[in-house]
Each structure stands twice: as C-alpha cells, then as structure tokens.
C-alpha cells in the first residue's frame, strides 16, 4: 500500500515570487509519481510525472519537480508564479508494477497567488 | 479531440435514493477510473474498468458499483444514498492499462444528498 503526504494545506504567495509545494510518499514498492492541478469547478490536469530516468522533471506551465528516492519526496516548484496559478495541487503515486490505473493522492495544497 | 465528459454535472438526491452517473472517455481510451472527492477524505479511488472488466477496486462499500460498456463508456451507481455520499465524483480515462499512460480527468459530477 502507498500513502502520500502533502505537508502544506495552503500556501499563500505573491505574484512573480517562487513557490515550492512539498510531497512525501510511503511505499513498499517502486512507484510512479505525479502532480496534478485542479482549477475551481474543474477536473484534474496533469502537470508532470516521474516514471524513470532523470530525477528533475519538467512539466507544463513552467512547473518542475525533483524526485528524491532517499527522502521519498517529490517536491513541486515554480520560479515565478502568476495569478492564474491559483488552484489546488495534488501529488499522487501509483504502484509501478501493478496492472491498472489506480492513483493514491495526497490531501492537496491550495495555492493562493496574491497581486 | 473531445475530452472526458461526465453527465450530469450536478445532481441533488435524498437519502435512501439511488443514483447513476455517466462517463464518456476520450475516443480510443479503454480504461475508465472513478474517484470520489470530498473535503474530509480528499481524493479516493473507487474502481477502474478496462475493456468492460473491473480491474481494481477501492475501499468502498458494496453500495458503490460500476460497469463499462463495449464502447468504453462507463456508469457508476450508488444505491441507498447516505449524507456522506455527497461529493464530487471524477472519472478519468486512459488509452492504456497502466499509470505509465496519462489519465485525463473529466469535470466531475457534483452529487448532493439531502
């Protein structure tokens, strides 16, 4: 079984400032890692994913994340946020070897970008 | 290419009733997964269907069921509704059978149980 902890439930940040959203996971097996974004009244959209290879993953909208196996973390960063980045962000994992599309999500981090 | 569509978008029911939610995946996608999103429990996996077969199931009571049709469209049913079933129900589709492939989420159906 896997579990995901997002350490911050809310992160206020000023426009054009950097932001980091923290994600730690627990799993007895190798996992794939994901970050999703949810805008108000919408479904989830994939920002980026780590499957294998380089531990620094670049995604859409200027986001990137770094996989750290020893610390079981997958933190998301953006060097300069915009008002439009106001949304809820979810970290998720899946069992690398399991058949199927089951994702285990963290509790989410609400990002509020202030002008 | 059309995205994942879910109908209806909003639904109000009373305790004890049953409800059926529908999900149409992206054309060519064979996997459909369902998730429940609530403020208290967050996003929780309900079940996944692939080529009309349920492949994975989350920890939900038997009141929650689903099915997938030959055209990959999926429905989920909740019987004997409880107040705690009020949630946003999200469906996601994927072309393949593992999370190696990207899952695309629909906008959700917001169910309110009174």
- The pLDDT, as a whole number, for residue A61 is 94
pLDDT digits (tens, 9 = 90+) for A93-102: 998 887 778 8
Beta-carbon contacts of B60 under 8 Å, excluding residues fewer than 6 positions away, are B36, B44, B46, B47
pLDDT digits (tens, 9 = 90+) for A42-75: 899 999 999 988 899 999 999 999 999 999 999 9
Task: Please tell me the distance from the alpha carbon of residue A107 to that of residue A91, in angstroms, as a whole number.
Answer: 8
Least CB–CB distance from B56: residue in A32, A44, A100:
A100
pLDDT digits (tens, 9 = 90+) for B19-45: 999 999 999 999 999 999 999 999 999
- Kind and range of the H or E run holding B45: strand B42-50
Least CB–CB distance from A105: residue in B43, B56, B94:
B43
* CA neighbours closer than 13 Å in the CB half-sphere of residue B72: 19
Strand partners, A19: A78
> Closest-CA residue in chain A for B47?
A102
Question: Nearest CA of chain B to the CA of A15: how many Å?
Answer: 27
User: CB–CB of B105/A44 below 8 Å?
Assistant: yes
- The pLDDT, as a whole number, for residue A100 is 78
User: CB–CB of A86/A109 below 8 Å?
Assistant: no
For a pLDDT cut of 90, what percent of chain B falls above it? 88
């Amino acid at each position: 079984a896997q579990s995901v902890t997002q350490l911050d439930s809310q992160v206020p940040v000023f426009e054009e400032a950097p932001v980091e959203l923290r994600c730690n996971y627990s799993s007895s097996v190798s996992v794939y890692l994901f970050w999703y974004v949810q805008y108000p009244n919408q479904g989830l959209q994939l920002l980026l994913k780590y499957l294998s290879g380089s531990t620094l993953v670049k995604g859409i909208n200027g986001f990137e994340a770094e996989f750290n196996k020893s610390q079981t973390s997958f933190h998301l960063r953006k060097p300069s946020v915009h008002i439009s980045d106001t949304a809820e962000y979810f970290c998720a994992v899946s069992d690398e070897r399991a058949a199927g599309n089951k994702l285990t999500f963290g509790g989410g981090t609400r990002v509020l970008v202030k002008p | 290419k059309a995205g994942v569509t879910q109908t209806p978008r909003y639904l109000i029911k009373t305790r004890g009733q049953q409800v059926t939610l529908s999900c149409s995946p992206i054309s060519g996608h064979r996997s459909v997964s369902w998730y429940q999103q609530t403020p208290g429990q967050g996003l929780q996996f309900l079940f996944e269907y692939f080529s009309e077969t349920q492949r994975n199931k989350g920890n939900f009571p038997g009141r929650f069921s689903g099915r997938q049709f030959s055209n990959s469209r999926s429905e989920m049913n909740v019987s004997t509704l409880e107040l705690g079933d009020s949630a946003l129900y999200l469906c996601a589709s994927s072309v393949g059978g593992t999370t190696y492939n990207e899952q695309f989420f629909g906008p959700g159906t917001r169910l309110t149980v009174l």
